[in-house]
Chain A
Amino acid sequence: MNEVLKIEYLKKYYGNSNNITKAVDDITFNIKEGEFVAIMGASGSGKTTLLNTIATIDNVTSGHIYVGGIDITTLKEKDVANFRKDNLGFVFQDFNLLDTLSIGENIAMSLVINGENPEVVDKKVNDIAKKLGIESILEKFPYEVSGGQKQRAACARALINKPKLILADEPTGALDSKSSRMLLETMEEMNEKLNATIMMVTHDAFSASFCERILFLKDGKIFNEIYKGDKTRKEFFNEILDVLTLLGGDLSDVK
């Protein structure tokens, strides 16, 4: 299978010469097409920074990120917008939907801006909405629908371009447990039926248990990596909890 994302020796440092924060410290890993990967770690472990560098929101200090074979660390400013449009989809904790547009228009946004044929746009929006079960709210505005529906709309927006990689930053963070479960099942479906490649950042073991593979970050480094394989979700969930217990502190921290 093709590698959608390839990260080599990635470093991202913050601060000045006196006070350096190594948010991402020499990370190397790959994500293959059709994978559903979670990045886990405590607050400040570098999860979101990692995601932001891949999303071209942040610059890297050193190292390379290849998305679909293109090294995004060397992209020029003016090419970045097009790159994002063609290759990346985003799902955020706080939805980032535009409240002046209806749900349908939000989903259609990037297609329309880039001059897609109106009929094609309509068809694509309806298709994706049906798949994600939000076709009944297309005419509504974001403030008229629930958090779970908003997040599924955000997923639809992320999917509509058929991007190579979908980046999700704590997508269940603002949702109640029922909506969370529904959203995760939706994402699982996106991954399985639409063959979307998803990288999800989360600190929630339950969310992560929907993925096939989990990378654990600690202090900007990869601490552990586990695969679901043939395990049931429950077994996988327990395994995650075990790793998290280890992640919580070293033996030397306990006195």
Chain B
Amino acid sequence: MLSKLAVRNAKRSIKDYIIYLITVTLAFSFIFAFNLISDAKSIVELSSMMQNFKLAMYFVNAFIILVICFLINYTTKFMFQKRSKEFGTYMLLGIQKKKIARMFTLESLILGFISLIISFGIGYVLNIIMTYIIMNIFDAPFSVDITFSWKAILLSFLYFAIIYLIVLFFLRRRIKKMKIHDLLYYEKQNEKTSKLKKYRGLIFIVAIFLGIVAIDTFDREFRAVEVNPSFGTIMLCLILIIISIYGVIYSLGDFILSFVLNNKKLKYKGNNLFVARTFSSKVRSMSFTLGTLTVLITLTLICLNLSGLFKGMFEYQINTYAPYDIVIADDEAKFKEYIDLVDDEYTIKESISYNTYMNTNNAVKNVLDSELNGWRDFDQLIKLSDYNKLLEMRGMEAVTLDDNEYILHVSRGYEGFKNNRNLESITLDNGIELQQKMFTSYKYTTSWAYGGGYVVVVPDYAVENLDVVENHLVINTEEETTEKFAQKLVGFAEPDFCEEDEYGYMVCYSLSSITVRGQEVANNNGLMTICLFVCYYIAIIFTTIVGTILAIQSLSDATKYKYRYQVLNKLGVDKRKLNKTILKQLSIFFLFPVVYPIIVSFFAINSLNRVFKIALVSDTTYLSYFGISLGLFFGIYLIYFIATYFGYKKNISD
């Protein structure tokens, strides 16, 4: 009977808490999928970097489990309160607490277990999709790993056990403490007013102040030229921000309420009074939960922003180091053989060979004096015609130069030298004087001329009598190049000279330099995949959890406070206006925990940009990442909002 009752109650709960169950299932699915991925041989063997993926996953999972605990614990508590009368009745019938606890535990476990089982299916599909994405990133052939990893399943069970042990521990304690009177009359109980109420204004100001201090301290860590942020300070900032968030959330509801109440025009306009009162009472009764949600949203946004920064950085790096499929700097005589070698493997789309020239009076280098200085101790020049061909190979527009002009193309580190007077005109070794036509860092690549960090583009005639630094061969292929082919090419470039080192080993040096895009991509991708997947993983789970808690809370309010809307209706508010009121109310409720995180995460990414900007396309690229992050977050959040809105309307009209 007891288990029959538990099963029936669980069945009923499925209907009422469908959003919650979907979220828990999704969370378990992600955990399982990531366990599968980090355990899959085909993934780990992609690159040496991917070994760390597993470690990162354990660490992240520990964190995620904690948050899932929060969700499940919250919802269990919530279900418990909603059914307090039912439990009271059990006690009245003479059922012992122990048995009631056992029944409710069984119910929670049934629900959790259903989620877990379904999650294996969904998780497996997710795993395939994510494997596909990773394989795509690495340009590796995609094949589905059909072998089912028992280890991943066991790990999922382990996480499940940990989560439910914690949740059930709290549940048992709650049941132990409950009094029959409180259960039977729970709905009639008044909320306790907080003793801190008087100080809300003060708390608000202090919290805001703490927030500003945290943001400023964080920014200071990244403001100096010598970037050396200390871990301790950053942690301190994080703690301060978290305290500030709880403080603001705790006090802001009343702040808004008193603002509305004190302004007669605002107070009596439309449904403002109703919405403000409902809202502030809501905030007052669940300020701690809302605070936690706000913290989660803050972390989510920061995670998403970081992933944007990382992604931008990696892409920029690829484009800086390997914009062309194959770049070879070697003896011109060997170029024919190189081309044959490439031709065997790929279809050559276009190729050019050109020379770089040296200018030893260092007219440019002497001015561009910074810590970014390359290892070449002379300026490197490229002929305009070669430069234009190189630009065209990247799909950029060709440029023109008068006979007495030059272009200085620098890496982003040298941007500060724009408009430098000493560069207005330069004189080369051969006596030709050139005026600066353009100074740019747009899409600079080290492939043009190794070891300088900048390149001087001169009219074709101006390289007369200058020594050649290197012969370059640049090839674009139809197909994507691979890491393997890079090794083949390097093997072909015979060492120029070999010598025995102090330990007796033969060490060979090669003056040639070979860059294959496929190899650079593979090197970068390991780290990028880890960063991106970890960030998105955290972001998705946190967002769904926040959405779920807000949805559950709103939907149960809709049932509980149905009469409020009936009263409004009787007072002459028609259906359309009622819906508008609901929309307004829910919008405020859902936006409330988002506003502060948006501000905090904006300042955070703004500070981090000081470090990242050098490796990004431009100083303001991070703004687009910020926008994308918000878009991603709101994309998921909106689904929960819409589901809540329609559920709310349904609950009220039922």
Give me the interface of A with B, judged by CB distance under 8 Å. 52, 55-58, 78, 81-86, 88, 90, 96, 98, 100-101, 105, 108-110, 112-114, 157, 161
Q: Using a CB-CB cutoff of 8 Å, which residues 85-105 of chain B contact chain A?
A: 85-86, 88-89, 91-97, 99
Contact A96 B85 (CB under 8 A): yes
Contact A98 B1 (CB under 8 A): no
4 residue pairs, one from A and one from B, having the closest CB atoms: A85-B94, A110-B93, A112-B1, A100-B8
User: Which residues on the B side are within 8 Å of A55 (C-beta)?
Assistant: 92
Known contacts A100-B5, A101-B8, A113-B2, A85 near B184 by CB under 8 Å = no
Instruction: Kindly identify which residue among B5, B85, B93, B99 contacts A84, using a CB–CB cutoff of 8 Å.
Output: B93
User: Which residues on the A side are within 8 Å of B93 (C-beta)?
Assistant: 84-85, 109-110, 113, 157
Number of interface residues of B (CB under 8 A): 21
Known contacts A57-B180, A58-B181, A113-B99, A96 near B92 by CB under 8 Å = yes
- The answer for the CA separation of A32 and B177 in the assembled complex, in Å, is 35
Contact B92 A90 (CB under 8 A): yes
Beyond A52-B181, A96-B89, A100-B12: 15 further Cβ-contacts under 8 Å?
A: A57-B180, A57-B181, A57-B184, A81-B94, A81-B95, A84-B92, A84-B93, A84-B94, A85-B93, A100-B8, A109-B1, A112-B1, A113-B94, A113-B99, A114-B95
How far does the Cβ of A192 sit from chain B's closest Cβ, in whole Å? 25
Known contacts A52-B181, A57-B181, A113 near B89 by CB under 8 Å = no
Contact A81 B97 (CB under 8 A): yes
How far does the Cβ of B376 sit from chain A's closest Cβ, in whole Å? 81
Known contacts A57-B181, A113-B1, A81 near B86 by CB under 8 Å = no
SS class of chain B's interface: helix, strand, loop or mixed?
helix
Sample 6 A-B pairs with CB under 8 A, ordered by A number. Answer: A52-B181, A81-B95, A85-B95, A90-B92, A109-B93, A113-B95
For the complex, is B9 an interface residue (Cβ under 8 Å from A)?
yes
How far does the Cβ of B156 sit from chain A's closest Cβ, in whole Å? 30
- The answer for the CA separation of A37 and B93 in the assembled complex, in Å, is 22
| B95 nearest in chain A by CB position | A113
User: Which residues on the B side are within 8 Å of A101 (C-beta)?
Assistant: 5, 8
Contact A82 B94 (CB under 8 A): yes
Contact A114 B8 (CB under 8 A): no
How far does the Cβ of B430 sit from chain A's closest Cβ, in whole Å? 95
Contact A86 B94 (CB under 8 A): yes
- The answer for the CA separation of A82 and B181 in the assembled complex, in Å, is 17
User: Which residues on the B side are within 8 Å of A78 (C-beta)?
Assistant: 96
User: Which residues on the B side are within 8 Å of A161 (C-beta)?
Assistant: 94
- The answer for the CA separation of A161 and B93 in the assembled complex, in Å, is 10
Instruction: Kindly identify which residue among A81, A88, A90, A100 contacts B96, using a CB–CB cutoff of 8 Å.
Output: A81
User: Which residues on the B side are within 8 Å of A112 (C-beta)?
Assistant: 1
| A167 nearest in chain B by CB position | B92
- The answer for the CA separation of A113 and B99 in the assembled complex, in Å, is 9
How far does the Cβ of A23 sit from chain B's closest Cβ, in whole Å? 13
B5, B9, B92, B180 interface centre (most CB from chain A within 10 Å) = B92
User: Which residues on the A side are within 8 Å of B12 (C-beta)?
Assistant: 100
Known contacts A57-B184, A100-B8, A101-B5, A110 near B94 by CB under 8 Å = yes
- The answer for the CA separation of A88 and B180 in the assembled complex, in Å, is 15
User: Which residues on the A side are within 8 Å of B181 (C-beta)?
Assistant: 52, 57-58
- The answer for the CA separation of A63 and B8 in the assembled complex, in Å, is 43
- The answer for the CA separation of A246 and B96 in the assembled complex, in Å, is 44
- The answer for the CA separation of A52 and B9 in the assembled complex, in Å, is 28
Q: Using a CB-CB cutoff of 8 Å, which residues 1-34 of chain B contact chain A?
A: 1-2, 5, 8-9, 12
Q: Using a CB-CB cutoff of 8 Å, which residues 144-201 of chain B contact chain A?
A: 180-181, 184
Contact A110 B95 (CB under 8 A): yes
- The answer for the CA separation of A109 and B1 in the assembled complex, in Å, is 8
How far does the Cβ of A134 sit from chain B's closest Cβ, in whole Å? 18
B1, B91, B99 interface centre (most CB from chain A within 10 Å) = B1
Contact A81 B89 (CB under 8 A): no
Q: Using a CB-CB cutoff of 8 Å, which residues 56-103 of chain B contact chain A?
A: 85-86, 88-89, 91-97, 99
How far does the Cβ of B281 sit from chain A's closest Cβ, in whole Å? 24
| B2 nearest in chain A by CB position | A113
Instruction: Kindly identify which residue among A81, A100, A108 contacts B91, using a CB–CB cutoff of 8 Å.
Output: A81
- The answer for the CA separation of A83 and B99 in the assembled complex, in Å, is 16
How far does the Cβ of B419 sit from chain A's closest Cβ, in whole Å? 76
| A52 nearest in chain B by CB position | B181
| A121 nearest in chain B by CB position | B1
How far does the Cβ of B364 sit from chain A's closest Cβ, in whole Å? 83
| A97 nearest in chain B by CB position | B89
| A109 nearest in chain B by CB position | B93
Contact A114 B94 (CB under 8 A): yes
Contact B92 A100 (CB under 8 A): no
How far does the Cβ of A253 sit from chain B's closest Cβ, in whole Å? 29
How far does the Cβ of B654 sit from chain A's closest Cβ, in whole Å? 13
Instruction: Kindly identify which residue among A56, A82, A100, A157 contacts B9, using a CB–CB cutoff of 8 Å.
Output: A100
Contact B86 A98 (CB under 8 A): yes
B5, B93, B95, B96 interface centre (most CB from chain A within 10 Å) = B93
| B180 nearest in chain A by CB position | A57
- The answer for the CA separation of A52 and B2 in the assembled complex, in Å, is 27
- The answer for the CA separation of A84 and B180 in the assembled complex, in Å, is 12
How far does the Cβ of B407 sit from chain A's closest Cβ, in whole Å? 80
User: Which residues on the A side are within 8 Å of B1 (C-beta)?
Assistant: 105, 108-109, 112-113
- The answer for the CA separation of A98 and B86 in the assembled complex, in Å, is 7
User: Which residues on the A side are within 8 Å of B96 (C-beta)?
Assistant: 78, 81-82
B91, B94, B96, B180 interface centre (most CB from chain A within 10 Å) = B94
- The answer for the CA separation of A110 and B94 in the assembled complex, in Å, is 7
| A115 nearest in chain B by CB position | B1
- The answer for the CA separation of A96 and B85 in the assembled complex, in Å, is 8
Contact A56 B180 (CB under 8 A): yes
- The answer for the CA separation of A52 and B1 in the assembled complex, in Å, is 28
- The answer for the CA separation of A90 and B91 in the assembled complex, in Å, is 11
How far does the Cβ of A14 sit from chain B's closest Cβ, in whole Å? 12
User: Which residues on the A side are within 8 Å of B184 (C-beta)?
Assistant: 57
A52, A90, A109 interface centre (most CB from chain B within 10 Å) = A109
How far does the Cβ of A16 sit from chain B's closest Cβ, in whole Å? 13
User: Which residues on the A side are within 8 Å of B88 (C-beta)?
Assistant: 96
| A95 nearest in chain B by CB position | B89
How far does the Cβ of A186 sit from chain B's closest Cβ, in whole Å? 20
User: Which residues on the B side are within 8 Å of A109 (C-beta)?
Assistant: 1, 93
Q: Using a CB-CB cutoff of 8 Å, which residues 433-487 of chain B contact chain A?
A: none
How far does the Cβ of A98 sit from chain B's closest Cβ, in whole Å? 6
User: Which residues on the B side are within 8 Å of A96 (C-beta)?
Assistant: 85, 88-89, 92
- The answer for the CA separation of A112 and B313 in the assembled complex, in Å, is 67
- The answer for the CA separation of A105 and B7 in the assembled complex, in Å, is 15
- The answer for the CA separation of A207 and B428 in the assembled complex, in Å, is 115
| B10 nearest in chain A by CB position | A100
- The answer for the CA separation of A78 and B92 in the assembled complex, in Å, is 13
- The answer for the CA separation of A142 and B396 in the assembled complex, in Å, is 76
User: Which residues on the B side are within 8 Å of A100 (C-beta)?
Assistant: 5, 8-9, 12
Known contacts A56-B180, A113-B99, A98 near B94 by CB under 8 Å = no
User: Which residues on the A side are within 8 Å of B5 (C-beta)?
Assistant: 98, 100-101
- The answer for the CA separation of A112 and B99 in the assembled complex, in Å, is 12
User: Which residues on the A side are within 8 Å of B180 (C-beta)?
Assistant: 56-57
User: Which residues on the A side are within 8 Å of B8 (C-beta)?
Assistant: 100-101
- The answer for the CA separation of A85 and B92 in the assembled complex, in Å, is 8
User: Which residues on the B side are within 8 Å of A85 (C-beta)?
Assistant: 93-95
- The answer for the CA separation of A105 and B92 in the assembled complex, in Å, is 16
